[in-house]
């Protein structure tokens, strides 16, 4: 059995495989926390964008502000955690992923 050549693509694939394996492997309570954070992010984004759209009267502005806050969280995490990412930052990442997914889904609903 031959191994793959060590190319940049194979390094990226191994890195992504490790990231996916870290998110789906572990004790049940950790996986549950990750899923709950993802769903809370989705719920909060869908609720917040609807509420702020009624207050501000502009869905585009609220989505832009929400995405800017999410990118600020990514910048803070990258500047504070260089090597090891603690559990609370990983949960915040899952919250952010659910949030961004809901905002993008809302954009598709508005566009159609």
Q: Residue 112 and residue 107: Cα distance in Å, rounded?
A: 9
Q: Residue 39 and residue 66: Cα distance in Å, rounded?
A: 17
The backbone torsions φ and ψ at residue 69, rounded to the nearest 5 degrees and listed phi first, read -65, -40
Residue percentage of the chain with pLDDT more than 70 = 93
pLDDT top residue among 5 and 37: 37
pLDDT tens track for 11-23: 898 888 887 887 7
Q: What is the pLDDT of residue 74?
A: 79
What pTM, to 2 d.p., does this model score? 0.70
Q: Residue 89 and residue 80: Cα distance in Å, rounded?
A: 10
Q: What is the pLDDT of residue 42?
A: 93
What is the secondary structure of 24-81 as a DSSP string? Answer: HSS-HHHHHHHHHHHHHHHHHHHHHHHHHHHHHS-HHHHHHHHHHHHHHHHHHHHHH-
Q: Which two tokens stand for residue 88?
A: 């609370």
Residue with tokens 């702020």: 52
Q: Residue 10 and residue 4: Cα distance in Å, rounded?
A: 7
Q: What is the pLDDT of residue 43?
A: 93
């Amino acid at each position: 059995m031959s191994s793959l050549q060590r190319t940049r693509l194979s390094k990226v694939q191994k890195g992504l495989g490790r990231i996916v394996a870290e998110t789906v492997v572990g004790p049940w309570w950790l996986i549950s926390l990750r899923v709950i954070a993802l769903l809370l992010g989705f719920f909060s984004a869908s609720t917040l964008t609807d509420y702020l759209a009624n207050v501000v009267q502009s869905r585009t502005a609220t989505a832009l502000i929400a995405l800017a806050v999410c990118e600020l969280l990514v910048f803070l995490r990258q500047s504070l955690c260089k090597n090891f990412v603690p559990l609370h930052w990983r949960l915040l990442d899952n919250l952010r992923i659910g949030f961004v997914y809901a905002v993008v889904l809302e954009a598709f609903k508005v566009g159609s």
